[in-house]
A = this chain, B = another copy of it.
Amino acid sequence: MTAFEWTLDAADGSARAGTFTTPHGALSTPVFAPVGTQATVKSLTPAQVEDLGAQMVLANTYHLFLRPGDELVAEMGGLHSFMHWNKPILTDSGGFQVFSLTKTRKIDEDGVTFKSHIDGSLKRLSPEISMRIQENLGADIVMAFDECAVPTDYDYSRLAMHRTHAWARRCLEAKRRDDQALFGIVQGGVFSDLRAESAREISAMDFPGHAIGGLSVGESKPDMYRTIAEVNNILPANKPRYLMGVGTPEDLIESVRRGVDIFDCVLPTRLARHNSAMTMHGRLNLMNASFARDELPVDSECGCYTCRHFSRAYLRHLVNAKEMLAATLLSIHNLYTLVQLTRDMRAAIIDGNFEQFAQQKLAQLSIKETE
């Protein structure tokens, strides 16, 4: 079975260009993974996801556990076969969704009991159950089961962090498949002492990769960027670093600048379903009547399928007429924008001019915000 190896191809300041091997191919980092919550990147075929340059997709353990069930996915040959995606897949642990999607839940030291958001039935997740589900799903990268606290509540953050550490050890114990890499997750809210403690504890457990959890959930941008830097100063440099659930162009640049390698986020596809295009010059709301006769593409500098072939006028018509193709074409564009940004950052790191690249792009992004 392929080892999970991390190679640092180049570094520029704290920004890194690396390669991480998996049984379904190598990831060139920085990398952005589109989210396929229910074993589909919403509104796109896997062929379209591959065409726009995605190297990896994320799927959600919580959702697939509830529907169609991880055992069914295993019977169908695992997620790669089920959803016809032959490149790397990452599954989260279900932890974040239990804490963000369910109304009724009871946490104990062993795990969490909650009501399914689909049918209200009582379900349970624990480190061992999460690992078993993720083994059934069969992703290349799997995540330790963690507790995501309110990031600005110190006492709760501390409690959740300690539980996360105990659960991380149990996930390591419960893990069985050699063809899956288990990443540990650093928690601790926006508190420097907790994050430092968590980064040290998790690093000591010798995971093949590390994630920063519990950010981009309501804290301020300065708190988020500071926390990323503090954690990455402690995490070992010889393993990949994954910032969970982050996905604006600004955040990707600021995070790569602080040593992050891997990203995922629902934002590009969610914005697409709400008629919004992400560009490196700000966002466009395609519902806007000002685009009705606009022959330009969403972004004249973009090379995606949507921008190569369709005008803002056409997209505005699709949005206005409530056509499904609007979500598809905007999803392609938004995902391409982030994927291309990670490619450009990688090139800049390798060329040794990342800081110049970052400043130029951040300046562009701050000039214009249309919505």
> Contact at B75–A43, with CB atoms within 8 Å?
no
> Contact at A313–B72, with CB atoms within 8 Å?
yes
User: In the complex, which residues of chain B have a beta carbon less than 8 angstroms from the beta carbon of A324?
Assistant: 42-43, 324, 327-328
> Contact at A76–B314, with CB atoms within 8 Å?
yes
Query: Would you call A99 an interface residue if the criterion is a C-beta within 8 Å of the partner chain's C-beta atoms?
Result: no
> Contact at B76–A295, with CB atoms within 8 Å?
yes
Query: Would you call A187 an interface residue if the criterion is a C-beta within 8 Å of the partner chain's C-beta atoms?
Result: no
Residue in B38, B83, B321 whose beta carbon sits within 8 Å of that of A38 in the complex = B321
> Contact at B323–A38, with CB atoms within 8 Å?
yes
Residues from 326 to 343 in A contacting B, C-beta threshold 8 Å = 327-329
| Binding-face segment, A4-12, A303-311, A355-363 | A303-311
Query: Would you call A176 an interface residue if the criterion is a C-beta within 8 Å of the partner chain's C-beta atoms?
Result: no
User: In the complex, which residues of chain B have a beta carbon less than 8 angstroms from the beta carbon of A166?
Assistant: none
User: In the complex, which residues of chain B have a beta carbon less than 8 angstroms from the beta carbon of A76?
Assistant: 293, 295, 311, 313-314
Query: Would you call A204 an interface residue if the criterion is a C-beta within 8 Å of the partner chain's C-beta atoms?
Result: no
Query: Would you call A45 an interface residue if the criterion is a C-beta within 8 Å of the partner chain's C-beta atoms?
Result: yes
- By beta carbon, the residue of chain B nearest A325 is B40
User: How many copies of the shown chain assemble into the complex?
Assistant: 2
> Contact at A42–B325, with CB atoms within 8 Å?
yes
> Contact at B43–A320, with CB atoms within 8 Å?
no
User: In the complex, which residues of chain B have a beta carbon less than 8 angstroms from the beta carbon of A328?
Assistant: 43, 45, 324, 328
> Contact at A320–B82, with CB atoms within 8 Å?
no
Query: Would you call A98 an interface residue if the criterion is a C-beta within 8 Å of the partner chain's C-beta atoms?
Result: no
> Contact at B68–A323, with CB atoms within 8 Å?
no
Cα–Cα, bound, A314→B77 (Å): 11
> Contact at A84–B309, with CB atoms within 8 Å?
yes
Residue in B39, B292, B305 whose beta carbon sits within 8 Å of that of A47 in the complex = B305
> Contact at A67–B321, with CB atoms within 8 Å?
yes
User: In the complex, which residues of chain B have a beta carbon less than 8 angstroms from the beta carbon of A42?
Assistant: 323-325
Q: List 11 A-B contacts (CB under 8 A).
A: A40-B318, A44-B325, A45-B325, A45-B329, A46-B309, A68-B292, A68-B321, A72-B293, A84-B309, A324-B327, A328-B328
Question: Interface on A for B, CB 8 Å cutoff?
Answer: 38-40, 42-48, 63, 67-68, 72, 75-77, 82-84, 292-293, 295, 305, 309-311, 313-314, 316-318, 320-321, 323-325, 327-329
Other than the known A40-B325, A42-B323, A68-B321, what 18 A-B pairs have Cβ atoms closer than 8 Å?
A: A38-B317, A40-B318, A42-B324, A43-B328, A45-B48, A45-B328, A45-B329, A67-B317, A67-B321, A68-B292, A68-B316, A75-B293, A76-B311, A82-B311, A82-B314, A84-B314, A324-B327, A324-B328
